[in-house]
Amino acid sequence: MASTKRLLPLDGIKVIEMAGLAPAPFAGMVLADFGASVIRIDKFTLKTNMDILSRNKRLISINLKSPIGTSILKRLICYDTDILIEPFRPGVMEKLGLGPDILCNLNEKLIYVRLTGFGQEGKFSNIAGHDINYLAVSGILSLLGRKNENPMFPLNILADFAGGGLISVLGILLALIARLKSGKGQVIDVAMVDGVKYLSTYPYLMKLTNQMWTKPRGENILDGGAHFYEVYKTKDNKFMAVGAIEPQFYAELLKRLNLDANLLPFQLDSSKWNNMKQLFTNIFKTKKQEEWTQIFYKSDACVTPVYELNYKIPEPTPKLLRTSGKLINNTKYFLKPGEHSREILKEYGYSENEIKEFSIKNIVDGLNYSKSLL
């Protein structure tokens, strides 16, 4: 009988993820969604898991301040691990005796991912930071915001998840392909600042060649300057997003708004954009969001409702037609730190007596021995 098991593209790939915030957990989640076996190494003192990106992973809590703890991690990594993801500041893994110079020599096929905000070197490399800081140093933050206002940061999607997490996954997949040819792994240096810069290649080149973003922040087509690329409030205090950039889409927009193009300024006459914004503002206030949604339904005016973030949990994407990601309808999101410690230790060849010793000596947490048995 043919197997009914769902085929996943990363089946058989084994990942160790050092516990961290946002980008590293997201990278691990993406790999797990597409079939990789991901073990997360939790901080030993962590009692509550605040990471909601744990789905499809297994968790073990190891005291890495103990030489025995680091030896356990080395066994996990050197036994058959393909990928290690570490999100610490430069030098932390080296202090633990777990730097790439050691681990990559012990496991030549290991792909060692170093995920930081500012990179392994440079004047910002050893300071703390968050998404807003990486956007700031990359130069991207200077492009975001309204005219005559401070730069406005978005949600922490750009640097943390796109420039950090997804770029890490891209690097991992490239390294896996390279390993097919060479038989060897390599170190991947992912800096969120660099990742965001790479994502901004298009605006950078458009600005460099004076094709777009030639005016101050908030006065260009795609940053809130133009009336045809803007968000407008409706009668019921909801919103509609307008993105009618191309002439044919703009013509359709005017038609659906019952406006005569012959009586209006040329679309790209920026001196009239503020007046046109006021006109559009007044018009969109006359109807509710659902009414506008129906008016623009199946049109090419590039006008859509602005919905709240209340849809179901996003499924893994892209959707590969033959080897897509895992279905997540019944996925468990909140896992306890060290929830799979015993299972993982058994899997990697540790005896019951050794496991009990790890519990007694506070080397591995989550083993659930009662005090009377110790």
- Candidate list 51, 82, 131, 160, residue with the active-site label: 160
Annotation says 130 is catalytic: yes
CA-closest candidate to residue 302, choices 201, 226, 236: 226
Whole-number Å distance between alpha carbons of 36 and 266? 54
**Which residues, in sequence order, are bridge partners of residue 43?**
62
Q: Where does residue 109 rank: exposed (0-12), middle (13-18), buried (19+ CB within 10 A)? A: middle
Q: Where does residue 214 rank: exposed (0-12), middle (13-18), buried (19+ CB within 10 A)? A: exposed
**Which residues, in sequence order, are bridge partners of residue 105?**
none
Q: How many residues are present in the chain?
A: 374
DSSP H helical ranges for 257-329: 273-284, 289-295
Whole-number Å distance between alpha carbons of 203 and 168? 22
Instruction: Output 63-67 pairs: Cβ under 8 A, ≥24 positions apart.
Output: 63/362, 63/363, 63/364, 63/365, 64/96, 64/98, 66/361, 66/362, 66/363
Identity of residue 135: L
Do residues 302 and 230 lie in contact, with contact meaning Cβ atoms separated by under 8 Å?
no
Whole-number Å distance between alpha carbons of 265 and 277? 12
Catalytic residues, by residue number, are: 130, 160
